[in-house]
Amino acid sequence: MTHAHTHAHSGAEPAMDAGRIRGAILIYAVGLVLAGGLTAASFIAPVSGLIWAPALPVALVVFAIAQMGVHLVFFLHITTGPDNVNNALALAFGVLIVLLIMAGSLWIMGHLNHNMPPMPQLMQMQR
């Protein structure tokens, strides 16, 4: 069995050459700059006064989701390429479940809290 066959059989890719190394480092560097910028924006936005205070939570969530996207694309390399279709579909399903758990919990518990009698009245009812 030749060397090339061993590699093909075990699924290992050949070592990267200098050009591909530079390209890969560049991708991580771009990701670091974008993620660092979004992190800085998240921490600075509340103290800068540039954002209308009631809109602050929305702005923070937008920064966070953007940064998660940067991490997924530049660090985890979840792309829409042909070797990534399964990964992207699994991610979509995971996001669906996360949204159901978060929104469902907040919705149900919020209603429960709203419909709960105040504590003294509750104690009275239990007596």
Partner 1 sequence: MSAGGEAVFDAAEAGPGLGLRDRAGYGHGESGPASKRVIVGYGFWIFLLSDIVMFSAFFAAYAVLVGQTAGGPSGAQLFDLREVGAETACLLLSSFACGMASIAADARRFWPFQIAMAATFMLGAGFLGLELHEFAGLVARGDGPQRSAFLSAFFTLVGCHGLHITAGLMWLLTMMAQILAKGFRADILRRMLCFSLFWHALDIIWVAIFTVVYLMGAYT
73 binds partner 1 (CB under 8 A): no
DSSP-assigned states of every residue in 55-105: GHHHHHHHHHHHHHHHIIIIIS---SSGGGHHHHHHHHHHHHHHHHHHHHH
109 binds partner 1 (CB under 8 A): yes
Q: How far is the CB of 7 from partner 1 (least distance, A)?
A: 7
Residue type, 118: P
Task: Please tell me the distance from the alpha carbon of residue 68 to that of residue 61, in angstroms, as a whole number.
Answer: 10
Task: Name the token pair of 52.
Answer: 């209308």
Q: How far is the CB of 38 from partner 1 (least distance, A)?
A: 9
Residue from 82, 114, 118, 119 touching partner 1 (CB under 8 A): that is 82
Q: Which of 9, 70, 14 is nearest to 38 (CA)?
A: 70
Task: Name the token pair of 26.
Answer: 């560049």
User: In the range 18-47, which residues lie near partner 1 by CB under 8 A?
Assistant: 21, 24-25, 28, 31-32, 35-36, 39, 42-43, 46
55 or 124: CB nearest partner 1: 55
Q: Give burial (CB, 10 Å; 0-12/13-18/19+) of 51.
A: middle
- List contacts with partner 1 (CB under 8 A): 4-5, 7-13, 15-16, 21, 24-25, 28, 31-32, 35-36, 39, 42-43, 46, 56-57, 60-61, 63-64, 67-68, 71-72, 75-76, 78, 82-83, 85-87, 90-91, 93-94, 97-98, 101-102, 104-106, 109
